[in-house]
Amino acid sequence: GAGVSQSPSNKVTEKGKDVELRCDPISGHTALYWYRQSLGQGLEFLIYFQGNSAPDKSGLPSDRFSAERTGGSVSTLTIQRTQQEDSAVYLCASRKTLDRSNEKLFFGSGTQLSVL
Amino acid sequence: AQKVTQAQTEISVVEKEDVTLDCVYETRDTTYYLFWYKQPPSGELVFLIRRNSFDEQNEISGRYSWNFQKSTSSFNFTITASQVVDSAVYFCALKGWRNFGNEKLTFGTGTRLTIIP
């Protein structure tokens, strides 16, 4: 696609439910990133993928969070047993390669997650 | 540990005024990258600039300019003759270059800039 696409744009869920957030990166981009933006906070790194592998998962807040990427394209971020503190905007970004000469990330519009 | 501080939470200026957004960073890395991103109301962050730590030359792009001062660990962003379309949240970010595979960007908390017509 022309840009990074995320769905849904808004998600309201009840505490304790599981949610899946989807990211469709720019076609041909090998690197994919998930960030979380909480109210009044900066962006917090969660995980990144190179192809289907996740070399760095260090930002995932707890074992309730997981992510996968298939076919070197679409990625899904899953949050199990959601808690109110999970409420945030979840942003996905992609990058063509991990070449140091090209550090430009392309971001999606995010998924606003609200846990009631 | 890395840290990026954007002390200005919100700034409002009248259209056509110049405005400077401050960014101060902390890192133990000797080589690193600094970034500015713009987040308009649509939510998508838009890349503005990347600066390498070994290149202290200031940069100008149209109405935008960046002042990198390694001695004070600052990477400030100035918009000249501001326009209403400049209204957005601006984020400064840092990435260390310790080894290949460090892909984590550390962001500041952002500065919300409002341009008053």
Does the structure show a pLDDT above 80 at B102?
no
pLDDT tens-digit profile of B55-97? 888 888 899 999 999 999 999 999 999 999 999 999 999 998 7
pLDDT: is A102 or B6 the higher one? B6
For residue A1, what pLDDT is reported? 53
Give residue-wise pLDDT tens across range A73-97: 999 999 999 999 999 999 999 998 7
Looking at residues B99-103, what average pLDDT do you find? 66
Distance from CA of B38 to the nearest CA of A (A): 11
- The two structure tokens encoding residue B43: 């939510």
Q: How far apart are CA A30 and CA B64, in angstroms?
A: 30
pLDDT, tens digit (0-9, with 9 covering 90-100), for A52-62: 999 889 899 99
Contact with chain A for residue B35, Cβ under 8 A: yes
Task: Tell whether the model's pLDDT for residue A48 goes beyond 80.
Answer: yes
Q: Do A103 and B103 touch (CB under 8 A)?
A: no
pLDDT tens per residue, range B85-96: 999 999 999 998
SS3 A97: coil
Q: Is the pLDDT of residue B15 over 90?
A: yes
**pLDDT value at residue B100:** 57
Lowest-pLDDT range, A53-57, A68-72, A103-107, B100-104? Answer: B100-104
Cβ-defined contact of B50 to A103 (cutoff 8 Å): yes
- What pLDDT does residue B103 have? 82
